[in-house]
Amino acid sequence: MATPGADQRSRVMRWEGIFQSAPDAAFILEGERIVAANRAAANLFGCPHEELVGLAMPELAASGRLGTLPSAEAIGDWAAHARLGEVWRLVLSGRRRDGCEFDAEFCLSALPGKERQVLLSVRKHAAGGPGVGLLADVTERKKEDERSRAREEHYRTLVNNFPDGALVLFDTDLRVMLAESAALAAGGFPKESLEGRSLAALLPALTFTMIEPNLHGAVAGQESALEVPFGGRIYNVHARPVRGPEGEVVAGMAVVQDITARKRLEDKLRYLSAHDPLTNLFNRLFFEEEMARLAKGRHFPVSIVSADVDGLKGVNDRLGHAAGDELLRQAAEVLRISFRPGDVVARIGGDEFAVLLPGASIIAGESVLARVRRNENAYSASDDRPAVHFSLGLATAEEGQSLAETLRLADSRMYRNKLERSKKP
């Protein structure tokens, strides 16, 4: 049976083994003086541990191996607070014998009876009892903290300079966890007024109803995008999940961008691609696309009117092309008011116009020609604008007949009408 003395020696050896094997630099203090130091402490300071043992902490600081320590009075206050269970830590700069510098976190921890392992905290102990000091090399951690702060600042800079948009993080209850963007504050929504609030309470009911399925989809792991009108502008809302280290969904994210200018540009380009810039009627490309679409549809009969402005060449020769352009604009207006909103009125050449009339029979087409003549005469009766006259041709396609052939027939009848009109005095 082991004797009490043997048990005590065994415990001491076990404790000393733990102390020497600790990965962090550790030393035992009595008062301000170091009475023991482990191998990691010697490695950290780059000197034999015998040089550390016996030094007082102020002497260690005076040697240039530690930054300036707090005063003895301050350390005494720490000890008093430690006895009340409070935790105190201090980060110091250190320097090895070879001149390499490092940052270290210094903690004081009680060592009751030398039987407990070293702790990185301050524990209550008997007055005058020994304590353990632990120096953990936190240089890399401090660098990583600095890198993390730099990344966070970089992130915030990017988000706050996000063009015409914002980034919003939200939880499964669709409450705002984070809202970042200079545009939010400029729009009267400072982040402090958003974070912690429900998106349902922040947004108009109609807007929230539009985006709610996408937001719930994001926290369920789905990605989506939609365009949302709000306050006279158009926003693209890209909702997607935010995943944790294991791929689990931890939140939802909405990237909101004002796309009003882009949509207006797209609308303008779309309009220009289908319209004649001089008259604002449809252009030949759109006319041909619509004719091909009608040929495959169920809108027969389809009538086609071919119209040519009389006298344009003479106006260009006598008065210049600006006057000729004005005549074309006036002719386009006469045609515009003569046809139904669903008819396709197009300028397909210099002085040539054509109109598609879906669902219009030959009788309906002839009625439209008569309307064009009435509007032409009424428009030309005014003395304060140039007279507008057309040569017109009409043809109608029944189901199964070619619209391309129908257009050619309308053109042929238009040229015949022009020839007849030219023979009249």
Token pair listed for 420: 């007849």
Question: How high is the pLDDT of residue 385?
Answer: 75
Q: What is the pLDDT of residue 50?
A: 77
Instruction: Return the pLDDT at 105.
Output: 63
Rounded CA separation 287/291 (Å): 6
| Backbone φ and ψ of 73, nearest 5° | -60, -40
Q: Which helix (H) or strand (E) is 375 found in, with range?
A: helix 362-380
**What whole-number distance in Å separates Cα of residue 6 and Cα of residue 29?**
26
Task: Indicate the class that CATH gives domain 8-142.
Answer: alpha beta
Do residues 357 and 303 touch, judged by C-beta distance below 8 A?
A: yes
**Domain 8-142 shares a fold with domain 272-423:** no
Class of domain 272-423: alpha beta
Residue ranges, the chain, pLDDT below 70: 1-24, 27, 29-32, 49, 57-58, 60-99, 101-145, 147-164, 181-192, 425
Other C-beta atoms lying within 10 Å of the C-beta of residue 26: 25
3-state secondary structure of 271: helix
Give one word for 16, left, alpha or beta, with left for phi > 0 and alpha for psi -120 to 50.
Answer: alpha
Q: Cα-flanking dihedrals φ and ψ of residue 189, to 5°? A: -125, 75
> pTM of the full predicted structure?
0.56
Q: pLDDT tens for residues 105-123?
A: 666 555 544 433 333 322 2
Query: What residues does each domain of the chain span?
Result: 8-142, 154-262, 272-423
State residue 116's pLDDT score: 33
- Predicted pLDDT at 267: 92
Tell me if 201 sits within 8 A of 178, measured CB to CB: no
In this prediction, residue 98 carries a pLDDT of 67
List strand residue ranges (DSSP E) for 138-201, in order.
165-170, 176-180
User: What was the pLDDT predicted at 88?
Assistant: 53
pLDDT digits (tens, 9 = 90+) for 152-194: 565 555 455 555 578 888 999 999 988 876 666 555 566 667 8
Confidence (pLDDT) at 42: 76
311: left (phi over 0), alpha (psi -120 to 50) or beta: left
- The dihedrals phi and psi of 260, each to the nearest 5 degrees, come to -60, -50
221: region left, alpha or beta (phi > 0 left; psi from -120 to 50 alpha): left
* CATH entry 3.40.50.1000 includes domain 154-262: no
* pLDDT on residue 208: 94
Dump strand ranges (E) for 152-232: 165-170, 176-180, 224-230
Dihedral sign (CA 67, 69, 70, 76): positive
Residue pair 407/306 in contact by the 8 Å Cβ criterion = yes
Please name which of 359, 364, 361, 369 lies closest in space to residue 335, comparing C-alpha atoms: 369
Residue with tokens 């170091």: 34
> What is the spatial order of strands in the sheet that 33-37 belongs to?
33-37, 25-30, 131-137, 101-110, 89-95
Which whole-number Å values give the CA distances from 423 to 165, 310, 351, 363, 417, in the listed order? 67, 13, 20, 27, 10
Spatial distance between the Cα atoms of 425 and 422, rounded to a whole number of angstroms: 8
